Amino acid sequence: MIAGVRPAIIPGQRWGTVLRTINLKLLHMVPVLLIVSFATLALLELVPGDPAVSVLGADARPEDYARVREQLGLEQPLPERYVSWLGSAVTGDLGNSVVHPSRSVWSLIASRLPVTLQIAGMALVMALLISIPVGMFAASRVGSAFDRATAASTSGLISLPPFVAGLLLIYLFVFNPHVPRWLFLAAAVLGAGWLAWYTLRLLRSHDLTRSETTWQVVGVGAMLAVGIGVFLMWPSFPRQGFSRITGDGGIGENLRTAFLPALTVALTEVAVFARLLRSDMISTLQEDYILASRAKGMPVRRILLRDALRPSSFSLITLAGVSLGRLVGGTVIVETIFNLPGMGRLIIQDGVIVNDFPVVQGAVLVIAVVYVALNALVDISYAVLDPRIRRGAA
């Protein structure tokens, strides 16, 4: 069927297609989740050690071990254990942790998931806040010094292993705090200086209207103000630990403890996001309607923000969603370096190492659900945002 022949959008049909996409995606989730949870159980079988020993300690009587194994259902064959676990998991019961003191797996996850989600969410926001202006600016001046510096630093950041990045940030922000502090001030002053010089040059060639001049001057002032303000109020970051929002310190203390872990995670993401936005934006900027805008004499800032950013951001949105899903299960390293009570350390230290299989199974299932659901959500939102995909799916 040729796409152009069809009537463009029939309201009812349009949402029907989207709904069908959603159904397909949800259907696809089921086997993936089944396989992941079964694989987790099978994998735990491989891990040496007896859960009964974790419960009773090393010197109980053999018949006690046998009794505990019976209670935990360990005497049944693997498929049967899986089916009975699945049966209660479907009804929302993930069981209790084996290791003393026994707690419900749900309550363990409920105390850990917010930490991981906060780190992942903050990292994503930081990465977007840095990468969108950088990517846009690099794309608007392909081949310039700024563009080349961006290319070099993104490939550097991509090659930085997360645990090295974490230690580097600790060395700079915790042990030598005046280095990043002065660097930040220097960057702000240099940026403001460049903007001022650029404005003066435009003024001399009479390319600026009065309101634009005002905005440029406001921009210079804002850069200087932010630079000096952050420099003066530079907080001291802790080496490790985490303060919950509900804790004594409130939200300020919470952000202070979450900042470095989130920045560590964000560093890699920034590089990937900035590269993606830059390349998408370069191809958008070659479109005819951008040329038309330019010919009309629209200012560059307006073309970039109003005309080019939205159509260039589709793949960025996709990638951001996928990244968030990946990060929910992928912050183990950062949690270890900064000693955070997140999902990764729940699975490793309270689960795999001490053979607490209900904890591992429940936590991996939750992570997999979040991951698969976010991926599906991204696909669906993509279909809603971009009419071409929608039509292609029908």
DSSP character for 4?
G
State the CB neighbour count (10 A cutoff) for residue 170: 19
Distances (CA, A) of 176 to 182, 186, 226, 265: 11, 16, 22, 20
Q: Which is nearer to other proteins, 260 or 372 (CB)?
A: 372
What is the Cα 221 distance to its own chain's centre?
32
Q: Interface residues for other proteins in 9-68 (CB under 8 A)?
A: 28, 31-33, 35-36, 39-40, 43-44, 46-48
By CB under 8 A, how many residues form the interface with other proteins? 52
Q: How far is the CB of 269 from other proteins (least distance, A)?
A: 15
From CA 223, how far away is CA 198, in angstroms rounded? 14
Contact range with other proteins by CB under 8 A, out of 63-71, 165-173, 183-191, 297-305:
165-173
**Which C-beta is closer to other proteins: that of 37 or that of 199?**
37
Q: Which is nearer to other proteins, 171 or 197 (CB)?
A: 171
What residues numbered 173-192 form the site for other proteins, per CB under 8 A? 175, 179
364 binds other proteins (CB under 8 A): yes
Q: Smallest gap, in angstroms, from Cβ of residue 39 to other proteins?
A: 7
Q: Which of 24, 89, 76 is closest to 364 using CA atoms?
A: 89
Binding-residue pattern over the window 58 to 87 for other proteins, x denoting contact by CB under 8 A: ------------------------------
User: Which residues within the stretch 330-359 sit at the binding site for other proteins (CB under 8 A)?
Assistant: 330, 332-333, 336-337, 344, 347-348, 352-353
Asked if 259 is part of the footprint of other proteins (rule: CB under 8 A), the reply reads: no
Q: Which of 76, 78, 79, 163 binds other proteins (CB under 8 A)?
A: 163
| Coil vs helix vs strand at 96 | strand
For position 202 contacting other proteins by CB under 8 A, the verdict is no
Taking CB under 8 A as the binding criterion, the range among 61-69, 102-110, 132-140, 146-154 that sits at the site for other proteins is: 146-154
Indicate left, alpha or beta for 196 from its phi (over 0: left) and psi (-120 to 50: alpha). Answer: alpha
Closer Cβ to other proteins, 154 or 293, answer by number: 154
Count of CB atoms situated within 10 Å of the CB of 265:
26
Give the helix ranges, DSSP H, for the chain.
11-46, 51-56, 62-72, 78-90, 105-140, 145-158, 162-169, 178-204, 210-232, 250-284, 288-296, 300-302, 309-312, 314-329, 332-338, 343-347, 357-385, 387-393
Neighbours of 24 (CB within 10 A): 13
Q: Which of 168, 203, 228, 393 binds other proteins (CB under 8 A)?
A: 168
For residues 236 and 177, is the Cβ–Cβ distance under 8 A? yes
User: Smallest Cα–Cα separation from 356: which of 347, 369, 364?
Assistant: 347
Q: Which stretch binds other proteins (CB under 8 A): 150-158, 208-216, 219-227, 304-312?
A: 150-158
List of residues contacting other proteins (CB under 8 A): 28, 31-33, 35-36, 39-40, 43-44, 46-48, 142-143, 148, 151-152, 155-156, 158-164, 167-168, 170-171, 175, 179, 326, 328-330, 332-333, 336-337, 344, 347-348, 352-353, 360, 364, 367-368, 371-372
